[in-house]
Amino acid sequence: MRERRCLTLSIFAIVSSSFFGVGMESSALSADPSSNVQIDSVGSTVKSTDPLELSMWGHTNYVTGVALSEDGNTAITVGVDKSIRIWDIAAGRAKHVLKSTQEKWVHAVAITPDEKEFITVEQARVAAYDIATGEETWNYETSEEGNSGAVRFDRAGHFACIGSSYEVNLWDNSRRQDAPRRIIPQRDQDGVVLSACALSPDGKQLALSTNIEYGASSQIELWDVDANEILRTIIPEKGSVRYLNFTADGTRLLSSGHSVTRGSNYSRNIASPNNEDSLILYDVSTGDIIRKFGCTVPVKDRPSQKVPVDGVVTPSIVAAPPSHTRNVFCTCLSPDEKRLFTAERDGMMRIYDFETGEVLKELRRHTDDVMSLAISSDGTRLVSVSLDMAVMVWDLTVIPDQSE
């Protein structure tokens, strides 16, 4: 469908160019700026090597969360503008724009395993919506407001939410009318706030992380969900944890966050060597480190994008500030777990070989921090959202499985 739309528009562009006297010796690009399909001078479709397939605009403030349907055709985004947007990616437009009932920042979003609904986490509120109509179907008021939020599902439809700074709520999605189970971190220290949570795919384990507010000291707790007890505690040597991810078999846990010296104040950040403490893979059974994913943060100017009033635009080049310390806000794995994708500070996204830790590619099209990622079930499409208010759709089929 995307190729057919681009072919029509490109033929129009070629005819128009000829009419106004523009030469046609060189290949003509598709007039549709949202596509990564090009049309050559004889009308044949040629796959572009640019992985940026589409940019969508509409949010009026920071975008903080994204979820993607399994087929990769519907994206749901949330953010600081207190809106929830359901996007038709083929059309490049939002088909539903919802407002937070409580007029509060929406932190996070996840689609239910049956793909009939999606769950959002607001400040002090969790809600469910019908994915087809956008109608709210359920809500729950949490005990306190939080400055962070998360919602994560297991395969069976149980989900964990951070709706406040001090507890994780657990639900069975088929019995949401019941009161949730509450998991309260065992870390007993002033200023402790929840920063991330994740359910193992089988729902038997919960990983949660806590940070010292306004500091860099973090702790990860692994819980036995049925027994309601801690299995083990992991204390990272450096940095603060922002996101947690189990592998598909539940045996490994990926932690990502800010690579700073443990206990330091954010005004005195000291990056770890190669920024490797921002992204660490742990053995769940022992808590041992399996691998650190390092990078050399580039200091050169980065390609980025101007923000239009509305509609779809093509990238333009402007200078973006270089990074000093690394901050990984979100990660996701390809379905075959061969590739790891990161959402990072200053518009940076990276693709790793998950088993070797090698950086395969850097994607630099956002102009501000990339906050969340979602991938389709076949691993061909990735969606990213950012503080620059853009929703970007990436074609992963044009990215090689080797470093460039």
> Of 111-115, 257-261, 301-305, which gets the smallest average pLDDT?
301-305
pLDDT band at 404 (very low <50, low <70, confident <90, very high): low
Q: Smallest Cα–Cα separation from 54: which of 303, 301, 308, 311?
A: 311
Report the mean per-residue pLDDT for the chain.
79
In our burial notation (b when 16+ CB lie closer than 10 A, e otherwise), range 287-298 reads eeeebbbbbebe
- For 357, left (φ over 0), alpha (ψ -120 to 50), or beta? left
Distance CA 9, CA 242 (A): 43
Q: What pLDDT is stored for residue 123 in this prediction?
A: 80
> Of 106-115, 321-330, 371-380, which gets the smallest average pLDDT?
321-330
pLDDT band at 37 (very low <50, low <70, confident <90, very high): very low
Mean pLDDT value across residues 266-286: 71
Q: What pLDDT is stored for residue 239 in this prediction?
A: 76
Distance CA 330, CA 34 (A): 25
Residue 11 sits at φ, ψ, to 5 deg, of -60, -40
Distance CA 374, CA 108 (A): 12
Mean pLDDT value across residues 319-333: 69
Burial of 11 (0-12, 13-18, 19+ CB in 10 A): middle
- For 114, left (φ over 0), alpha (ψ -120 to 50), or beta? alpha
Spatial neighbors of 98 by CB under 8 A, at least 6 apart, are: 83, 84, 85, 86, 129, 134
* Higher pLDDT, residue 124 or 88: 88
* Higher pLDDT, residue 31 or 389: 389
Q: What pLDDT is stored for residue 104 in this prediction?
A: 81
**Locate tokens 């450096």: which residue?**
238
Q: What pLDDT is stored for residue 334 in this prediction?
A: 97
Q: What pLDDT is stored for residue 166 in this prediction?
A: 83
* Higher pLDDT, residue 266 or 329: 329
pLDDT band at 318 (very low <50, low <70, confident <90, very high): very low
pLDDT band at 48 (very low <50, low <70, confident <90, very high): low
- Per-residue pLDDT at 208 exceeds 90: yes
Mean pLDDT value across residues 154-176: 90
- Per-residue pLDDT at 300 exceeds 50: no
pLDDT band at 28 (very low <50, low <70, confident <90, very high): very low
CA dihedral 359, 363, 369, 370 (to 10 degrees): -90
Share of the chain above pLDDT 70, in %: 73
Q: What pLDDT is stored for residue 212 in this prediction?
A: 79
Q: Which domains does the chain have, with CATH numbers?
A: 1-48 (no CATH), 53-398 (2.130.10.10)
Q: What pLDDT is stored for residue 213 in this prediction?
A: 65
> Of 113-127, 201-215, 253-267, which gets the smallest average pLDDT?
253-267
Beta-carbon count within 10 A of 373 CB:
21
Distance CA 47, CA 3 (A): 10
For the record, the structure tokens of 29 come out as 């690009």
List pLDDT tens digits, range 368-380.
999 999 999 999 9
Contact 281, 290 (CB under 8 A): yes
List pLDDT tens digits, range 10-25.
333 333 333 223 332 2
Contact 163, 149 (CB under 8 A): yes
Helix (H, G, I), strand (E, B) or coil at 376: coil
CA distances from 141 to 82, 92, 125, 162, 319 (A): 17, 34, 5, 12, 43
Q: What pLDDT is stored for residue 39 in this prediction?
A: 34
Mean pLDDT value across residues 266-277: 52
Q: What pLDDT is stored for residue 296 in this prediction?
A: 60
CA distances from 8 to 12, 35, 46, 125, 314 (A): 6, 12, 14, 46, 19
For the record, the structure tokens of 188 come out as 């007993």
Distance CA 348, CA 346 (A): 6
- Per-residue pLDDT at 309 exceeds 70: no
Share of the chain above pLDDT 90, in %: 59
Mean pLDDT value across residues 164-168: 83
For the record, the structure tokens of 238 come out as 């450096």
- Per-residue pLDDT at 27 exceeds 80: no
pLDDT band at 258 (very low <50, low <70, confident <90, very high): confident
Is the sign of the CA dihedral 103, 331, 188, 212 positive or negative?
Answer: negative
List pLDDT tens digits, range 143-162.
766 666 899 999 999 999 98
Helix (H, G, I), strand (E, B) or coil at 158: strand
- Per-residue pLDDT at 198 exceeds 50: yes
